[in-house]
């Protein structure tokens, strides 16, 4: 039974890791479409497919293994066979990615792969086979990456080393530039003139090489022979190109030149079969060395003396140490390029593995449980602190204050565990933009800014669908076709930008495009047609633009599978407001549109500022509070605004908003808040100080109430309502909804909100 449990746990980990690998695979394919570092991206895509195939084989997922094997073979040809990945190939690989994702979904759900799914997979395998029909077959699936660094020489024709005029060890390299053409070791040696006078006989060294194996071919090259008038017969002026067939390793061959190592230039190139052995040895190293040279020496592809010489050359380079060691080894023909690539990949894998040792994968439900426990700890700490104050025990107050401080630190650390970068969500839209553009025949560039901005994982999971609709809508409705853009003096390629940043304790996400912008006349006509707006009613541009969030509202003339059915923008607004956020739209005719989404950083715990009105208590998010001031109630009632050091500050009274019947004191206070660049005062009866606020959702009865974003349990056990400051600021700056000329629809909404606010006030008073 325990073995089955362990297997089930491992299978669950496989599904999670496979999805991470598929996400990286998709990003790599998108990067290949952008022609960025094709070699590294191909390696990453290949590793993802290879890992999924191997893990699926462990669990007996034959369909996944079979399909991934075909994808892996195609990628191997792309890496090792030089197969060009044009647009059709990339499109097919993206389809393979989607099919593999479907297979994993079926496996996770315990579903069998039906005939339709198998037929789709075989069709994709056939497409890959047709695309690779003209490519050379790979030598092995575990071979080295085929990308080659810039070489210090031009490739020579195969067989050039047999010519008497051959004068370079590079002649042993074939037309591909990265493998030895022959199946033998090739030794290129140039002796120093003084070698004979030092008592060494080059011919004796060559005879010793014959004892290690068979001397297949020897060419003596008098390339350093001086003129007869200046030649010294005691000097050596002959170099040799030698083909040696032996089972000895590179170090044994090098040892043959031990006594003349300082009096010669020596290059030892392995046979092609040995290159594959080196690559396999490097790939199979476990917990091996971390430096490039050490990896190559451990595999036998490089000798310690060759490494020392290469490092000396690196030190002499200008600027010192800047030239990569791998580049030097390839240029000096010490190591073949595929072997260096394999060692670099091994080095990178070791770094990633050691970096990953600092991470622990935790199930989301366990993390949520921890946050809930911390939330209850915050409430308990506040209750203990309140009790200590009521008893006026200094020692007890000091102890509870320390506990509250530690609970605050625990709270911050726990919330950081759920923080993720929004860039992971943004990167998913590369594929969306590509597919929609392909369907609509448009060219759009997606620009991502602020991808490192962090917010709560629960918010990230819920914001994906609203962003998806905004992105698709911007491409379909906003950005024009290439011909239309050129006619308007714009670049043929449109621009769509996703931007994220922090502002006043919130995260702001913007979706911007440089397209048509909103058509105000068409929006007005549609609003009048649907009875949302009176024909004679005048609205500001921002108010007119907000009508697109009405349910069923659409100005599209053609209904497509992308948009035009009037379903979406109202859902976008509803989903964002469910996250205690807001969405605004700004548009310039002919210049594009800008959707601004404001969201809280977390949905669990915040720092709040507690205020009181009558017997009710409310919480203002502390990040939005600028300052607190005292105001005269009678003066505020007469003017409706506050003079804040010469600045006219619009204000709102919570007593009026929530219809609180208790008598208002003569002197009140105003909490000055700022959000989205707007500053407003909230007039309250009492200021009760800061507190850690655990956010509790409102019930279904009060969930739609405007101006209230949630509730919390205070240290006294009472319920406090959390104010939705952005919504309050919008209502304050928009003015009264009962003014003459207000559209009937908006007036009805104002009445329904007032009813909801009265209900909230009743709950707080109780």
The band of 499, judged by pLDDT with boundaries at 50, 70 and 90, is very high
Average pLDDT in the chain: 76
Confidence of residue 138 (pLDDT cuts 50, 70, 90): very low
Task: Compute the distance between CA of residue 522 and CA of residue 746 in angstroms, rounded to an integer.
Answer: 20
3-state secondary structure of 496: strand
579-627: pLDDT as tens digits = 878 888 888 888 889 999 988 877 777 788 999 888 888 999 888 888 9
List pLDDT tens digits, range 372-385.
888 888 888 888 88
What pLDDT, on a 0 to 100 scale, did the predictor assign at position 567?
A: 47
Considering only 395-399, 627-631, 662-666, which range has the smallest mean pLDDT? Answer: 662-666
Fold held by 2-131: 1.20.120
CB atoms within 10 A of CB 687: 15
Give the model's confidence band at 511: pLDDT under 50 very low, under 70 low, under 90 confident, else very high: very high
| Residue partners of 712: CB distance under 8 A and separation at least 6 | 608, 619, 693, 694, 695, 696, 719, 720, 722
Tell me which of 709 and 450 has the higher pLDDT: 450
For the ranges 246-255, 585-594, 688-697, the lowest mean pLDDT is seen at: 688-697
- Tell me which long-range contacts 649-653 makes (C-beta under 8 A, separation of at least 24): 649/679, 649/680, 649/681, 650/680, 650/681, 650/732, 650/733, 651/680, 651/681, 651/682, 651/683, 651/732, 652/680, 652/681, 652/682, 652/683, 652/728, 652/731, 652/732, 653/683
C-alpha radius of gyration, the chain, whole number: 36
Burial string for 292-311 (b: 16+ CB within 10 Å, else e) reads bbbbbbbbbbbbeebbebbe
- Reported as a pLDDT band with limits 50, 70 and 90, residue 522 is confident
CATH class of 421-600: alpha beta
- What's the whole-number mean pLDDT along residues 501-515? 86
Count of CA atoms in the C-beta half-sphere (13 A) of 215: 13
pLDDT at 761: 43
Task: Report whether pLDDT(563) > 70.
Answer: no
Confidence of residue 174 (pLDDT cuts 50, 70, 90): very low
Compute the average pLDDT of residues 316-339: 76
Reply yes or no on domain 606-765 having CATH 2.40.50.180. Answer: yes
pLDDT given at position 73: 84
pLDDT of residue 705: 65
- Write down the pLDDT at residue 555: 63
Instruction: For the chain, give the longest Cα–Cα distance.
Output: 121
Q: What is the mean pLDDT of residues 355-359?
A: 54
Distances (CA, A) of 26 to 68, 135, 295, 703, 741: 15, 24, 31, 39, 53
| Whole-angstrom distance, CA of residue 663 vs CA of residue 51 | 71
Strands (E), 201-332: 214-221, 239-245, 264-269
**What pLDDT is recorded for position 678?**
79
Question: How many whole angstroms separate alpha carbon 227 and alpha carbon 231?
Answer: 6
Closest CA to 607 of 689, 544, 532: 689
Q: Among 91-105, 183-197, 357-371, 744-758, where is mean pLDDT lowest? A: 744-758
Query: Sorting pLDDT into bands at 50, 70 and 90, what band is 510?
Result: very high
* Residue 468 pLDDT greater than 80, yes or no: yes
Please, what is the Cα angle at 135 between 134 and 139, to 5 degrees? 150
Query: What tokens appear for 389 in the block?
Result: 């104050």
Give the number of other Cβ atoms within 10 Å of residue 522's Cβ: 12
pTM for this entry: 0.56
Give the number of other CB atoms < 10 A from CB of residue 285: 15
pLDDT at 259 over 80: yes
Mean pLDDT across the stretch 78-87?
Answer: 69
84, HSE (Cβ side, Cα atoms, 13 Å):
4
**What are the tokens at 766?**
């109780």
- Using the 8-state DSSP alphabet, how is residue 200 labeled? -
pLDDT per residue as tens digits for the range 10-24 = 677 788 888 888 888
First-to-last C-alpha distance (Å) of the chain: 54
* Tens digits of residue pLDDT in 23-73: 888 888 877 766 545 667 777 788 888 888 877 877 778 889 889 988 888
In the sheet that holds 494-503, the strands lie side by side as 444-449, 494-503, 506-513, 592-600, 582-588
Q: pLDDT tens-digit profile of 397-441?
A: 888 888 888 888 888 888 788 888 888 888 888 888 888 888 888
Is the model's pLDDT at 168 over the cut of 70? no
pLDDT of 701: 63
């Amino acid at each position: 039974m325990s073995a089955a449990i362990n297997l089930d746990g491992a299978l669950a980990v496989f599904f999670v890791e496979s999805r991470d690998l598929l996400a990286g695979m998709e990003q790599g394919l998108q990067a290949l479409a952008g022609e960025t570092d094709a070699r590294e991206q191909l390696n990453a895509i290949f590793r993802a497919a290879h890992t999924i195939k191997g893990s699926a084989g462990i669990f007996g997922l034959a369909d996944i293994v079979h399909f991934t094997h075909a994808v892996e073979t195609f990628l191997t040809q792309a890496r090792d066979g030089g197969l060009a990945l044009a647009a059709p190939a990339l499109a097919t690989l993206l389809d393979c990615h989607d099919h593999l994702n479907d297979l994993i979904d079926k496996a996770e759900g315990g579903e069998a792969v039906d005939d339709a799914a198998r037929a789709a997979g075989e069709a994709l395998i056939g497409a890959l086979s047709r695309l690779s029909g003209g490519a050379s077959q790979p030598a092995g699936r575990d071979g080295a990456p085929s990308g080659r660094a810039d070489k210090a020489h031009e490739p020579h024709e195969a067989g050039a080393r047999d010519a008497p005029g051959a004068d370079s060890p590079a002649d042993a390299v074939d037309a591909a530039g990265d493998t030895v053409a022959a199946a033998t070791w090739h030794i290129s040696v140039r002796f120093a003139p003084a070698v004979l006078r030092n008592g060494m006989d080059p011919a004796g060294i060559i005879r010793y090489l014959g004892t290690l194996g068979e001397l297949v071919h020897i060419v003596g090259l008098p390339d350093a022979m001086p003129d007869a008038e200046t030649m010294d017969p005691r000097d050596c002026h002959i170099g040799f190109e030698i083909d040696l067939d032996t089972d000895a390793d590179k170090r044994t061959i090098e040892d043959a030149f031990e006594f003349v190592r300082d009096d010669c230039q020596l290059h030892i190139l392995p046979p092609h079969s040995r290159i594959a052995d080196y690559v396999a040895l490097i790939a199979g190293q476990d917990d091996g060395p971390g430096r490039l040279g050490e990896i190559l020496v451990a595999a036998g592809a490089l000798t310690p003396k060759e490494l020392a010489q290469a490092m000396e050359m690196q030190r002499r380079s200008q600027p010192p140490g800047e030239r990569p060691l791998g580049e030097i080894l390839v240029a000096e023909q010490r190591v073949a390029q595929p072997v260096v690539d394999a060692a670099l990949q091994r080095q990178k894998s070791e770094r990633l593995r050691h970096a990953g040792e600092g991470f622990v994968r935790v199930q989301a439900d366990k993390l949520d449980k921890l946050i809930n426990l911390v939330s209850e700890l915050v409430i308990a700490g506040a209750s203990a602190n309140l009790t200590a104050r009521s008893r006026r025990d200094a020692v007890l107050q000091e102890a509870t204050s320390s506990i509250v401080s530690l609970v605050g630190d625990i709270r911050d650390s726990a919330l950081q565990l759920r923080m993720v970068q929004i860039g992971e969500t943004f990167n998913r839209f590369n594929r969306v933009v590509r597919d929609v553009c392909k369907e609509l025949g448009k060219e759009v560039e997606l620009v991502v800014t602020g991808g490192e901005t962090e917010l709560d994982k629960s918010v990230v999971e819920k914001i994906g669908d609203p962003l998806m609709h905004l992105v698709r809508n911007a491409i379909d409705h906003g950005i024009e076709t290439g011909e239309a853009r050129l006619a308007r003096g714009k670049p043929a390629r449109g621009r769509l930008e996703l931007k994220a940043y922090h502002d006043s304790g919130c995260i702001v996400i913007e979706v911007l495009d440089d397209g048509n912008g909103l058509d105000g006349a068409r929006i007005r006509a549609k609003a009048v047609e649907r009875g949302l707006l009176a024909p004679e009613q005048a609205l500001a541009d921002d108010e007119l633009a907000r009508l697109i969030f009405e349910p069923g509202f659409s100005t599209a003339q053609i209904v497509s599978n992308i948009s035009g059915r009037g379903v979406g923008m109202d859902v976008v607004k509803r989903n964002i407001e469910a996250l205690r956020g807001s969405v605004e739209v700004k548009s310039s005719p002919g210049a594009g549109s800008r959707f601004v989404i404001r969201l809280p950083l977390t949905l669990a715990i915040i720092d709040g500022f507690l205020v009181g009105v009558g017997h009710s208590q409310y919480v203002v998010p502390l990040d939005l509070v600028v300052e607190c001031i005292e105001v005269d109630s009678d003066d505020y009632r007469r003017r409706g605004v506050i003079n804040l050091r010469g600045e006219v500050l619009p204000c709102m009274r919570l007593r009026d908003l929530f219809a609180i019947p208790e008598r208002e004191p003569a002197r009140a206070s105003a909490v000055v808040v700022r959000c989205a660049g707007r500053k407003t005062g909230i007039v309250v009866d009492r200021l009760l100080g800061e507190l850690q606020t655990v956010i509790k959702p409102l019930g279904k009865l009060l969930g739609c109430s405007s101006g209230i974003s949630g509730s919390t349990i205070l240290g006294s056990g009472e319920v406090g309502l959390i104010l939705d400051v952005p919504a309050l600021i919008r209502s304050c700056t928009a003015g009264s909804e009962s003014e003459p000329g207000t559209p009937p629809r908006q007036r009805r909404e104002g009445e329904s909100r007032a009813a909801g606010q009265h209900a909230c006030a009743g709950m707080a008073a109780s």
